[in-house]
Amino acid sequence: MQVDLGDLNPGTWFEMTGGGKISLRVCSGDAFREIRKKTVQKKAELKPIGRTNTLQRIEYEVVDDDLQSQLIWEYCIVDWSDLLDKNLNQIACTNENKKLLMGQSVVFSKFVTDCLDKLRISMEGEQEEEPEKN
């Protein structure tokens, strides 16, 4: 197996119906941990517990779901080509456009999530095959 240490999680290209291609990658563990650092705050409160109202420290997380989704899409959507607007102009693959398309285009977001599901399944299949080869 060859590994490109400069690009450990490259994108995989998917052809879109009606034209255009999109390069996607599954969110790696390290990338997701970095996203969580930016989107999750740990909080703690003292709450009275039981009949005696003994104060107990309760810890919980507050997640900025919107930002977390945005950062995941920014990571998972690597690139696209031949994605055109209504005037047949190329749509640039920017974080702003990723957010716009994932948030407002049902067709685009469904395509991306379906392709990421296929990619995850194919990766799981490859991992299961590895031990059999040895």
What is the arrangement of strands in the sheet containing 21-24, beginning at the earlier edge strand? 12-15, 21-24, 77-81
Handedness of CA 28, 83, 4, 132 (dihedral sign): positive
Those residues whose C-beta lies under 8 Å from the C-beta of residue 53, and which sit 6 or more positions away, are none
For residue 50, the model assigns a pLDDT of 87
Nearest residue to 75 via CA among 24, 115, 41: 24
pTM: 0.77
| pLDDT at residue 133 greater than cutoff 90 | no
Q: What is the pLDDT of residue 69?
A: 94
- Average pLDDT rounded to a whole number, residues 12-25: 94
Domain ranges of the chain: 14-123
pLDDT, tens digit (0-9, with 9 covering 90-100), for 90-116: 999 999 999 999 999 999 999 999 999
